[in-house]
Amino acid sequence: MNVSSIGGLFLSKKEREFRKQLSNVLGFNPGNVELYRTALSHRSVREGADENNERLEFLGDAVLGAVVAHYLFMKYPYKDEGFLTEMRSKMVNRNQLNSIAVKIGLRRITLFNKLDNSLKVSQIFGNTLEALVGAVYLDKGFDETYKWVARQIIRSHLYLTELEHIDINLKNKLYGWANKNGKMLEFETISEKLESGRRFFTIGAYIDNELIAQGEGFSKKNASQIAAQKAIEKLNIT
Amino acid sequence: MNVSSIGGLFLSKKEREFRKQLSNVLGFNPGNVELYRTALSHRSVREGADENNERLEFLGDAVLGAVVAHYLFMKYPYKDEGFLTEMRSKMVNRNQLNSIAVKIGLRRITLFNKLDNSLKVSQIFGNTLEALVGAVYLDKGFDETYKWVARQIIRSHLYLTELEHIDINLKNKLYGWANKNGKMLEFETISEKLESGRRFFTIGAYIDNELIAQGEGFSKKNASQIAAQKAIEKLNIT
């Protein structure tokens, strides 16, 4: 038998396998399968804005940001806003999301054009993960999404106690890369202003005098960490 | 009578007035008043990270971002991610939030040190509004916060049809300011790369050859609009 029936619909073997893999990745049975199919469809296979996963990625990125903000708010009741912002940035940056996406199995079920050589395949899956969060949110609501993200993403794949201490490593990592590649790295303050009575810094990461990325924050340390991290993402340093 | 009793507690006249104003601003009766008092307390009156509104501002900023993302996702079912990102940025930028905060009456009930001359008072209230969203979220949950933001912030104070068309005005506004102040304004592409098969631009707004702000996006138009808007915020152009 290559077909089975759900609600009177006969499903092909391929479709049944897709649904099984989807349920495995999610850890629950999805309500609206089409929503998830959209979340898993890269624009290289579906051009229309209402057909591929880019709109869901926009939504999921925002929902994930709110979930992680709440999670950190609860976990660290005495830490200030600068610490929380930095932790979130370490948890949900591009590299982390790409890596988590592959670990939870999105490489297998993401639909994209495998013949398109212009695609940086390693970067597709983090976006897909964000779109998936958007789909879970629309399918199950915010509270269920919170639980799902906390369980399947944060507790399963992010080691917060380690992340608390990696701040020094981001700048070091970038310096290491620059050194290895014979490039000059500098951090410079682009602007400093008062915001609500606090000093607010914008710091740029320059490589060979070219501005690569900038970070903002209420301390030079925070701002330069964020600049370093963005530079690492832009340069695809792994 | 200068005192009244709630749950056996006698409240001073001042406290009763605070609660009345708070309910007026919110449009509902708050469950946990202390949460809202924290949301309304600027660091100039409460130093501790767990006492002033900066942690709630972090949370509220994220929740507001998710609510607005969902609102736009529903309102514009055929618009792409670039449009949605730009619209959100126009709706919840610093200037908009400051202006909405004053309109809904936050100036009167925000607690801050009025003798501190280093405070840019006009910028406090937007942050307070974000913190208030954080408090509503913790007090009432995400779904109620969605309804509250949609009713009290978006539908009451943001004219989306107008915002759709103001994109040209942001760059024009900045050019106007530069012209009036004898400064040279230029937009330059800082970087261009492929991300998931799409061209991704970083564009800087330079005033007298100094980088003031940068914007990112999948089109030069979007990226330079965002750069213009950030520059307008940084320079406090009204």
Digit-coded pLDDT (tens) for B148-196: 999 999 999 999 998 988 765 688 788 888 877 878 888 988 888 877 6
User: Do the chains contact at B58 and A49, CB–CB below 8 Å?
Assistant: no
Maximum alpha-carbon separation in chain B? 71
Name which of A43, A46, A58, A149 to mutate to probe chain B: the one with the most chain B Cβ atoms within 10 A of its Cβ. Answer: A58
A137 and A38 assigned to the same domain:
yes
Chain B hits for A119, CB-CB cut-off 8 Å, are: 196-197
Query: 3-state SS of A186-214?
Result: EEEEEEEEEECCEEEEEEEEEECCEEEEE
- Residue A96, Cβ neighbours under 10 Å: how many? 18
Give the Cα separation of A90 and B180 in Å (integer): 42
A4 within a domain of the structure (yes/no): no
Chain A hits for B59, CB-CB cut-off 8 Å, are: 69-70, 73
B113 within a domain of the structure (yes/no): yes
Give the Cα separation of B212 and B204 in Å (integer): 7
User: Do the chains contact at A80 and B54, CB–CB below 8 Å?
Assistant: yes
Nearest CA in chain A to B201: A234
B51 and B155 assigned to the same domain:
yes
Q: Quote the ipTM score.
A: 0.77
B2 within a domain of the structure (yes/no): no
Query: Which CATH number characterizes residue A95's domain?
Result: 1.10.1520.10
Query: Which CATH number characterizes residue A189's domain?
Result: 3.30.160.20
B36 within a domain of the structure (yes/no): yes
A15 and A111 assigned to the same domain:
yes
Burial class of residue A10 in the structure, from the number of CB atoms within 10 Å of its CB (0-12 exposed, 13-18 middle, 19+ buried): exposed
Output the CA torsion sign for B29, B34, B37, B42: negative
Final residue belonging to a domain, choices B137, B159, B181: B159
A180 and A226 assigned to the same domain:
yes
B57 within a domain of the structure (yes/no): yes
| pLDDT at residue number A90 | 87
Domain range enclosing A134: 11-158
Closest-CA residue to A72 (of B142, A80, B129): A80
B40 and B138 assigned to the same domain:
yes
A147 and A206 assigned to the same domain:
no
DSSP string, A73-114: HHH-TT--HHHHHHHHHHHSSHHHHHHHHHHTTHHHH-B--T
Print pLDDT tens along chain A (238 aa): 444 555 556 889 999 999 999 999 999 999 999 999 999 999 888 888 889 999 999 999 999 999 999 999 999 999 999 889 889 988 998 889 999 999 999 999 999 988 887 777 777 999 999 999 999 999 999 999 999 999 999 999 999 988 988 765 688 788 878 877 878 888 988 888 877 677 889 999 999 888 999 999 888 888 988 899 899 988 888 7
Chain A hits for B234, CB-CB cut-off 8 Å, are: 191, 193
Q: What is the value of pTM for the model shown?
A: 0.77
Nearest CA in chain A to B128: A196
**CA trace torsion A180, A183, A189, A195 (10° rounding):** -60
Active site residue A139: no
pLDDT at residue B114 greater than cutoff 90 = no
Candidate list A54, A86, A130, A167, residue with the active-site label: A130
Q: What are residue B199's DSSP bridge partners?
A: B194
Final residue belonging to a domain, choices B131, B159, B187: B159
Final residue belonging to a domain, choices A158, A175, A203: A158
B150 and B63 assigned to the same domain:
yes
Q: Are B218 and B200 in contact (CB under 8 A)?
A: yes
Chain A hits for B65, CB-CB cut-off 8 Å, are: 62, 65-66
Query: 3-state SS of chain B?
Result: CCCEEECCEEECHHHHHHHHHHHHHHCCCCCCHHHHHHHCECCCCCCCCCCCCHHHHHHHHHHHHHHHHHHHHHHCCCCCHHHHHHHHHHHCCHHHHHHHHHHCCHHHHCECCCCCCCCCHHHHHHHHHHHHHHHHHHHHCHHHHHHHHHHHHHHHHCCHHHHHCCHHHHHHHHHHHHHHCCCCEEEEEEEEEEECCEEEEEEEEEECCEEEEEEEECCHHHHHHHHHHHHHHHCCCC
Look at chain B and report how many structural domains it folds into: 2
Q: Which amino acid is at B122?
A: S
User: Do the chains contact at A54 and B81, CB–CB below 8 Å?
Assistant: yes
A3 within a domain of the structure (yes/no): no
B208 within a domain of the structure (yes/no): yes
